[in-house]
A = this chain, B = another copy of it.
Amino acid sequence: MVIEEAASQLEALGNESRLKIYRVLVRAGQTGIPVGQLQERVGIPASTLSHHLKRLVDAGLASQERQATTLICRADYRSMRALIGFLSDECCAEEGCVASSR
């Protein structure tokens, strides 16, 4: 993972609304969750939610799949795994840190 990508993913997650959205996505598992239900769950206006979702998708943290008129959203676990890996490896490579204490 290159630093630009890590930064853009961290930026995407570095907003309370988006982090909440992302958390709901994660809890929805592989099944995913439609935008509408997501909206009820997080209580954000549709327009705003759509903007935030786009940021998460653009950052590679989530994906969307059309099923008729509804859009199913899913967290991309691989990217989160890669991001956690980056934080552990690149940013926590020295003594005293989680990576070395394992």
Contacts and interface: CB of A to CB of B under 8 A. Distances in A.
A14 B19 contact: no
Chain A: number of interface residues, binned into ranges? 35 or more
A81 interface: yes
B7 A16 contact: yes
Interface string A84-102: 1101101111111110000
Interface string A10-37: 1111111001101100111110000000
Nearest to A23: B91
A83 interface: yes
A94 B26 contact: yes
A95 B29 contact: yes
